[in-house]
Structure 1
Amino acid sequence: MYGRMKKRWIALILLGLLLLVSGCGASREEEQSAGASRSMAVVTESKDVSQEQEAPAPAAANAAGEQPAGFVPNVAAQNRKMIYRADVTMEVESLAQTRKQLDQLLVKYQGYVLSSSEQEGDGTRQGYLELRIPQGGFQAFMNELDRLAVRIPVRSVRGEDVTEEYVDLSSRLKAQQAVEARLLQFMGQAQKTEDLLKISADLAKVQEEIERIKGRMRYLDENVRYSTLSLTLLEKKATARLGEVADESTWKQAWLSMNRSALAVLHFLNGTIIVLAGALPILLLLAIVAIPIFLYLRKRHKPRPPAEPPTLS
């Protein structure tokens, strides 16, 4: 009996030891798996951080000027407010024909003439035009001028960036509008006449500043939308060059030289006649005074006839 009880206790003790050993092993495996999970999480996080640190490298390269293939400027660079003005001098075969062609181009590119004038004299004809062209078609319009001209001796384009000024105006406008709203609120709450008059005066100044800012912004918007082209047209016959003059015949050059000499003589005679005509009243006045004096002196110094000898009776 005692032996059986002893065996049972030994079996229970062994069973308990087995359960304890298996429980410790399971806990160790869980700790190892948890540690591995934490290690994987740390590795993954470190990889993400390294990738985030390496990501700005292309942007830094682009900022340094090393732009990849197919680089497109950002929207902020494309939307800058630029005002373009150009000056062009063209030599043309016919002033009238070129004006018609320019009118057709203005219709095509939706531009308009701001001012125009023509001048003719000494065998020359010149035309002056100031045109306004939408900025989107400005460069294409400039390229069309090559087709109309015999030669373009002068061509210049200037650009002015007004983005900073426009942003500053926008900020000032918002600030003034906020002041206007507060003044209107104070005006509604004012109960004294003096306060109402003072608020009205301040409100008038603020509204005047708002209108001035809006006017400047409208001016900038208009000049950004439309570029200005100052165009000078010269007929080709009025722009003879040294090479063309050298090709003329000797007789033609001699004839032109003689004409120039004759014109110089005529100009001299005309000038002399004009000077004499201007001095004629003075000469007449001098003659009225000088002629009587001259006659008097001549009469006084006139030699007397010799006395006749006495006759003998």
Structure 2
Amino acid sequence: MKKSKFNLLKVFGLIIIISLLSACSYQENHSTGPSATDSGSFEEVTDREVADKEMASDVAKEGSGIVEGEKVISTYFLTLETLNFEKTRDELDALIKEQKSFIENSNIGYRGFEYSKNYRYGDFSIRVPKENIEEFKLSLKKIGNITNESNSKEDVTKFYQDTKSRLQLVTSKEKRLLELLEKAVKIEDIIAIESELTNTIYEKEMLQKSIKEIDEKIEYTTLSLSLVEVRNFSNTDKADSSLFTRLKAAFKDSLFAFKVAIENFIIWLVFALPYLIVIVTLAVLAIIFIKRRKNKSY
């Protein structure tokens, strides 16, 4: 019983060495005889682990065919004004379908009353194929008024290289553990190998997921769009616009202000109409009463 416990502790100790030893040299003449079920099997894994790490380092130095700056994640931020939220939303959906894009997430709500109307807004995170992003932005100008535009770029080339190299290393480790598992006979050895194999497979899946996410973010550019419903478009003309353009804009703003004033007066009139009727009625009755009193006095 004591011997079994000692062997089990020895097995776990050697597995820990697999993950910790990174500076040892590879033993080319190491024996790999048929007795693969004893603790010597795990020492073999340790030596090969070091060799694979050195190989992965060489692969990373050579670049693995990846040029610095090749893996870049781009994100664009736009604010789009609209006079009719529902119409522009339908046009946006059609544009997304046309450009083979998709909405990753969205948030639509009301931003409050203005000129007696409750205006709406929408925040959209849109994924657009990187080769279609410029055409997509140009098409947005046809369905609304762009008031703000910015972008950011993140170079993830080095992180991508490191992740790929680590994945190669973990894959090699998984393969060796599977080979040892096939040859293992002792129960304690099988349990120890399966435990380490489970951790290795989990790490491999996480690395594959990370690489996939990076590839998706590169292939599909993120467009963060704020769609805002307004009463009237903002004046986005440049400061050095011609006199005619500025006069045209001033006249347009004046007409809009006059229109709003008329609408507000009509709304106020409708609101005050019951009170006006009561006041006028009382005034008429008062005039009639006063006239009758005067007639009686004569």
| TM class by smaller structure | 0.5 to 0.7
User: Is the CA contact 1:92–1:234 (under 8 Å) kept in the aligned structure 2?
Assistant: yes
Unaligned runs of 5+ in 2: 1-64, 236-248, 272-298
Equivalent in the alignment of 1:137: 132
- For the residue of structure 2 that corresponds to 1:237, the secondary structure is coil
Unaligned runs of 5+ in 1: 1-74, 263-313
1:102 and 2:92 are equivalent in the alignment: yes
Root mean square deviation, CA, Å: 3.1
CA deviation profile, 1:256-287 (whole Å, cap 9, x unmatched): 7x97xx9xxxxxxxxxxxxxxxxxxxxxxxxx
Q: CA deviation at 1:245?
A: 6.7
Distance 1:205 1:133, change over 3 A: same
| Separation in 1, partners of 2:100, 2:260 | 51
1:229 and 2:219 are equivalent in the alignment: no
After TM superposition, the structure 1 = structure 2 runs for residues 197-276 of structure 1, keeping only pairs within 5 Å, are 197-237=191-231, 248-249=257-258, 252=261
After TM superposition, the structure 1 = structure 2 runs for residues 1-313 of structure 1, keeping only pairs within 5 Å, are 80-120=70-110, 121-122=112-113, 123=117, 124-149=119-144, 151-237=145-231, 248-249=257-258, 252=261
Instruction: From the two aligned structures, give the one with the greater helix fraction.
Output: 1
**Amino acid in the other structure paired with 2:134:** Q
CA deviation profile, 1:141-167 (whole Å, cap 9, x unmatched): 112212222x31211111112121111
**Amino acid in the other structure paired with 1:138:** I
| Separation in 1, partners of 2:258, 2:121 | 27
Equivalent in the alignment of 1:297: none
Q: CA deviation at 1:77?
A: 5.3
**Amino acid in the other structure paired with 1:210:** K
| Separation in 2, partners of 1:117, 1:235 | 14
Which structure's relative contact order is higher, taking Cα pairs within 8 Å and 6+ residues apart? 2
Q: CA deviation at 1:198?
A: 0.9
Distance 1:251 1:116, change over 3 A: closer
**Amino acid in the other structure paired with 2:78:** V
Aligned length: 184
| Separation in 1, partners of 2:254, 2:107 | 33
Distance 1:238 1:118, change over 3 A: farther
**Amino acid in the other structure paired with 2:204:** I
Distance 1:166 1:104, change over 3 A: same
**Amino acid in the other structure paired with 2:71:** K
| Separation in 2, partners of 1:77, 1:175 | 21
User: Is the CA contact 1:125–1:238 (under 8 Å) kept in the aligned structure 2?
Assistant: no
Q: CA deviation at 1:178?
A: 0.9
CA deviation profile, 1:278-306 (whole Å, cap 9, x unmatched): xxxxxxxxxxxxxxxxxxxxxxxxxxxxx
**Amino acid in the other structure paired with 2:261:** K
- For the residue of structure 2 that corresponds to 1:175, the secondary structure is helix
Q: CA deviation at 1:238?
A: 6.3
| Separation in 1, partners of 2:254, 2:124 | 33
| TM-score, normalised by the number of residues in structure 1 | 0.52
Q: CA deviation at 1:236?
A: 3.2
